[in-house]
Amino acid sequence: MRGAALLSLTGSNRYLNMNPRSDMRRALVYGFALWAIGTVGLRLAGGRLLLPHQPARTISLYAASFALMAWVIPRICLGLRLERGLWFQAAALLMLPTFLLDPFSAAFFPSVFPNIDAGAAGVFGGWLLMCCAGIVAGVWIATTRDLRADAPAAK
């Protein structure tokens, strides 16, 4: 089979993709898709989401976004059928569009998001960091939990 050699795992109907490069490209494509969806969503409804003068709502947004990313990203990795050992690499590629493009969104915030109070640029930057922290935490928790489950029992 060209492109990806498949190896049957002993005693299992699952297959291991031996060409992780194509999987990493898909993770990057997912990252750009998530970035685009988020950016369009902020252009449409960001004025109701990023409210710099309402700290309780900002903290709630940060907490909910952290939890959502921690829950969603491991499921994306599962959906991509990545080996657990590649999840941190995939997480980096999922975050890469945010790290590359959103500094410009923050620097030119009033032009990029004219529907949002310019004072919300700091809330926006903090929100991005909380989402990325949720991604890393979700992958770490999922891979650590799985490693512990596979470890032999202590005597």
Please compute the mean of the pLDDT values over residues 125-143 and round it to a whole number.
Answer: 96
pTM: 0.79
Helix (H, G, I), strand (E, B) or coil at 138: helix
- How many other C-beta atoms are found inside a 10 Å radius of the C-beta of residue 7? 9
The three-point CA angle 38-144-18 to 5° equals 75
**Over 80: is that where the pLDDT of 153 sits?**
no
pLDDT at 23: 78
Please compute the mean of the pLDDT values over residues 20-27 and round it to a whole number.
Answer: 80
**Helices 55-79 & 20-49 angle (0-180, nearest 10):** 160
Cβ pair 148, 82 in contact under 8 A: no
